[in-house]
Amino acid sequence: MKSPIDTYKKVKTSQEVSQYRAVALLLEGAVERVKLARLAQREGNSEVRGMAVGTTITILGVLQASLDKQLGGEIAENLDALYAYMTRRLAGVAIEREAGSLEEVEGLLVQLQDAWLAIGAEVEPLAG
Domain definitions of the chain by residue range: 17-117
Say how far apart CA 109 and CA 52 lie, in whole Å: 15
Say how far apart CA 119 and CA 27 lie, in whole Å: 14
| Digit-coded pLDDT (tens) for 52-102 | 999 999 999 999 999 998 998 999 999 999 999 999 999 988 777 667 899
Res 33 pLDDT > 60: yes
pTM: 0.81
The CATH-assigned architecture of domain 17-117 is Up-down Bundle (1.20)
